[in-house]
Amino acid sequence: MRKKVTVLGGGLVGSVMALDLASDDGYEVTVCDGRKERVDETVKKSGGKIRGRNDVDFASPASITAAVKGQDLVIGAVPGSLGYQMLGAVIRAGVNMSDISFMAEDYREWDAEAKKYGVTAFEDVGVAPGSSSILIGYACSRLDEVEDVTYYVTGLPAAPQEPFNYKLVFSPDDLIEEYVRPARTKKNGKIISVPALSGCRAVDFNIPGISLPKMEGFFTDGSRTLLDTIPSPNVTEYTLRYPGTAARMEFLREIGLFGTDPIDIGGTQIRPRDVFAELAYPKMELGKEEREFTFYHVEVTGKKDGRRLQYQFSLYDEKDMDTLYPSMSRTTGFPCVIVGRLIAEGVLRSPGVNPPEEVGKNEKAVRIFIDELKKRNVKIHQNVKEL
């Protein structure tokens, strides 16, 4: 019997996930989004295999619960600001879930509720957090003692254009959150908070088979659950951008353009971030034929049988110019879909709300996960070196 799957969110990533699921005859797919044109486009691309709905109100938990009731699986791809209540709505419907919604709240607050309803949910199952977290969890499970976890992640246009040197490859609001939300990092066993965009430094990677441009890295708040779920006293995430980005974004932030509290301008209440969005977002739209790439590099250092080892994982992926799927859509969406399939097929049975690194403890799931990414031409470069 075909499994029923609903994808909540039909944007850059949600549409790719829906189409990937629809390519398997074992799944009956519905995509929901308030923007009818996006739903129609995804349905058309699927050749009519996907059912589209634009009548689900993502701001209404009751509407979400009603829409997903009776489904075998939900794939979540709504903006982070809507993710927390969406998760609760799906749990109350009694449906398992794999989700990429990058919410500010601690999604584990829904854990007891999920267990009550017998729901298995995996959150943050994108690229980073996401597949990088799965590999971090796997490496940690292979070591007797973990000393340090450091990872770098980015999604950038292949041909940068001034003044932003960046193109939108996921939710614009979630992008700005990277520049304003204080970054939590872990040093010597203590979780500390530092300003977003701080710790900026030039980075250089020497990875066989991967050619990268010059970039800079700065602290961002993507470590999330890794700060307390893995046995490492040190955990740090760096987001990578073209040189000069951190200083520019910090300037815009400090003059208030990323603010969300309305200010009075000529008697009209206006949110500064809405002004920035109106002026900047159109200039950062990724062209259909425009190339971009996604990259991350993970280093997990520790000891095994008295030897000091470092597990290294690198992902490099470019836009698929045949399907025109952006690389960030592929590398964010495919992990979420694969984990969803693992839930639906019973490989992952973990009632409650789980972080992505929990997948890393299941060796069979990790093996399938890497193989499934490879089938979609997303390759993970692995290396273990003795220090």
- What pLDDT does 222 receive? 87
Co-location of 162 and 80 in the same domain: no
Same domain, 153 and 183: yes
pLDDT at 12: 84
Q: Which of 86, 47, 98, 32 is nearest to 344 (CA)?
A: 98
Residues pairing with 168 in the sheet:
285
Cα separation values, 242 from 3, 154, 159, 162, 207, Å: 43, 10, 11, 11, 18
Q: What pLDDT sits at residue 147? A: 98
What does DSSP say about strands 307-318 and 3-8: parallel, antiparallel, or unpaired? Answer: unpaired
pLDDT along the chain (387 residues), means of 10: 94 93 94 93 94 94 97 95 96 98 92 98 95 98 97 94 87 84 95 95 90 94 93 96 95 94 93 93 89 96 97 95 90 97 96 97 96 95 94
CATH code, domain with 112? 3.40.50.720
Helices H / strands E in the chain, number of each: 12, 18
pTM of the model: 0.92
From 302, 318, 334, the end of a domain falls on 318
Query: Are residues 80 and 142 both part of a single domain?
Result: no
The verdict on 63 and 97 lying in the same domain is yes
Please tell me whether residues 195 and 310 are part of one structural domain.
yes
Rounded Cα gap, residues 193 and 206, in angstroms: 30
Residue whose C-alpha is closest to residue 293's, from 151, 132, 153, 175: 153
Q: How high is the pLDDT of residue 168?
A: 84
Encode pLDDT of 39-55 as tens digits: 999 999 999 999 999 99
pLDDT digits (tens, 9 = 90+) for 254-286: 999 999 999 999 999 999 999 999 999 999 988
* 108, 119 contact by CB (below 8 A): no
| Domain span holding position 285 | 131-318
Q: What is the pLDDT of residue 288?
A: 83
Rounded Cα–Cα distance for residues 93 and 351 (Å): 14
Residue corresponding to tokens 């979630």: 174
Residue 104 lies in a domain: yes
Helices (H), 194-315: 226-229, 245-254, 272-280
111 and 135 both lie in a single domain: no
Instruction: Cis check for the bond before 163: say yes or no (omega within 30 of 0).
Output: yes
Q: Do residues 210 and 297 share a domain?
A: yes
For residue 197, give both structure tokens. Answer: 């965009």
